[in-house]
Amino acid sequence: MARSKPNKKSEQIKFNAELTEAEWIVMKVIWENEPCTAGTVQEALANSKDWAYSTIKTTMDRMVNKGFLEIQKIRNLQLFSSAISEVDAKRGEFRKMLQRAFDGALTPMMQFLIEHEGLSKAESAQLRKLVNKAKNRKD
């Protein structure tokens, strides 16, 4: 049973994971079903995406090469598992957006959300709780 080993490059990818739209779709299925085959991913997406098996398999093979997935081979069966966590993927996506739109500054982003996205009272209260929790952690 051979399993690809993470290398230093894949360790760096975990902290800078920037997935394409298609990779996000595949990763969500992997996170829910890992380890799984490309056929499992295709079946899970059959109702929402009309992707051929070859498209999914090629995407997943590329994700292995990028360090996003690991592959375990058992004879002629290939099982795919995530090499990055959902948190790392979200962190990479968030950092990319934060850098592009707000030059990496968190406060202007929060100000933008509050002023332009119309927080509900419940969201505002939840945000206050989170800010107070963060404030208490730093003290």
The answer as to CATH 1.10.10.10 being correct for domain 2-86 is yes
Give residue-wise pLDDT tens across range 13-38.
445 678 999 999 999 999 999 999 99
In the chain, domain spans = 2-86, 105-139
Q: HEC states along the chain?
A: CEECCCCHHHHHHHHCCCCCHHHHHHHHHHHHHCCECHHHHHHHHCCCCCCCHHHHHHHHHHHHHHCCEEEEEECCEEEEEECCCHHHHHHHHHHHHHHHHHCCCHHHHHHHHHHHCCCCHHHHHHHHHHHHHHHHHHC
Question: Does residue 56 surpass a pLDDT of 50?
Answer: yes
pLDDT confidence of 118, banded at 50, 70, 90? confident
Confidence at residue 1, expressed as pLDDT on a 0 to 100 scale:
39
Confidence at residue 122, expressed as pLDDT on a 0 to 100 scale:
92
Percent of the chain with pLDDT strictly greater than 90: 61
Question: Does residue 5 surpass a pLDDT of 50?
Answer: no
75 versus 119: which is more confidently predicted? 75
